[in-house]
Amino acid sequence: MPNSSAISELIKKSCISICAAFLCALSMNLFLVPAHVYAAGINGAAQLLSDILLDSVHLHLSIGLLILILNLPIAALGWFKVGKSFTLFSFITVLLTSLCLTLIPVHPLSSDILLNSIFGGMISAVGVGIALKYGISTGGLDIIAIFLTRRNRNASSGKYFLILNGIIIVIAGAVYEWQYALYTLISRFVNSYVIDMIHTKYQKLTVMTVTDQAERLTEAIQDQFDRGMTIIPSYGGFTGTKKSTMMMVISHYELYKMERLIKTIDPNAFTNILETNKIIGTFHTEEQQMAVQAMKHGEHSGKMEQTLGTQDYERFQKLFDVSTVK
């Protein structure tokens, strides 16, 4: 039976999903859609597809319905290739966004395209930023970009976001007037800037924590995240008290959970979050972390070897076999 903390966390994330979905729908129906300025990602693709179908074959399909349809195969991809818990809340947010888009009427608050671009981008960014801050994705391109990054580890998720959003903008400019594509670029700039202020657009972050509970914290992190870390002996500059500085790299979706874990284990810990442009070396995805966790409990299979790669699989197999013997 789930404890009260887990139930509280589920309720909190559900409320955040509702808030994020409502703000994204509000930004589209009150600002972006009336001005023919396109939203980011799958929402923008659905908006563009709805316009093209209406203008070319006089077929009216609601943007909310198209968002849901376009996200179904992406959700399936995420469920099997990215991570079940990550995909679940992503799809819940998508479902709520589709519902809000259907319920909120399209009603322009201004006839100025520039104002619509700025405020549309700003309001949707608040929704996305809040969702990211609490470890929730708004779905769509997030899942595609993470999957493509895992296939090509030398590329960043940001590169794929840029390419996929760029395709939407170019099509919008080619089919309709180029001014709408340019206003969409303005909206995307405002969107990115506000998200960066609320959360971060960096896909990976370096966490440096100074604590006197290094052993407990290490055990908890490896149990819940299976992240490797470097532990550096240190001491307080004023007090001279012996401490440990723990350094690890996490994904930005893990930030909220990591912050809560550190506060639970050591409320007095000092933590510094740094933006990470690039890493060279092993960085486990959620799927790989699950495989390592299973190996810790004595499970072994060909699928785990395929997930981790032969070299990593053999390394962890030896590590956990040695740990078991000890």
Highest mean pLDDT among 127-141, 154-168, 309-323: 127-141
**From CA 209, how far away is CA 217, in angstroms rounded?**
10
Confidence bin at 324 (pLDDT 50/70/90): very low
Whole-number Å distance between alpha carbons of 103 and 38:
20
Can you give the pLDDT at residue 159?
Answer: 63
Instruction: Provide the pLDDT for residue 119.
Output: 94
Residue 254: the pLDDT is: 80
- CA nearest to 39, candidates 125, 134, 106: 125
Q: Which of 29-38, 90-99, 171-180 has the lowest mean pLDDT?
A: 171-180
Query: CA-CA distance, 51 to 54, in Å (whole number)?
Result: 5
Q: What is the mean pLDDT of residues 223-248?
A: 85
Looking at residue 203, what is its pLDDT? 66
Place of tokens 């994330």: 13
Predicted pLDDT of residue 147 = 73
pLDDT band at 326 (very low <50, low <70, confident <90, very high): very low
Structure tokens at 25: 């729908």
Q: Nearest Cα to 285, choosing from 309, 320, 321?
A: 309
pLDDT, residue 239, reads 80
For the whole model, what pTM was predicted?
Answer: 0.67
Give the N- to C-terminal CA distance of the chain in Å, as an integer. Answer: 33
Given a cut of 70, whether residue 286 has pLDDT beyond it is: no
pLDDT tens digit string along 39-71? Answer: 888 888 899 899 889 888 888 889 999 999 999
Q: Note the pLDDT of residue 167.
A: 83
**pLDDT band, very low/low/confident/very high, at 246 (cuts 50, 70, 90):** very high
The domain made up of 202-282 is a member of CATH 3.30.70.120: yes
Query: What's the pLDDT score for residue 2?
Result: 56
* Average confidence score pLDDT of the chain: 81
Separation of CA 88 from chain center:
12
DSSP 176: S
Q: Which residue in this structure is represented by tokens 């939203």?
A: 39
Q: What is the pLDDT of residues 168-202, one digit of tens each?
A: 888 888 888 888 888 888 888 888 778 777 766 55
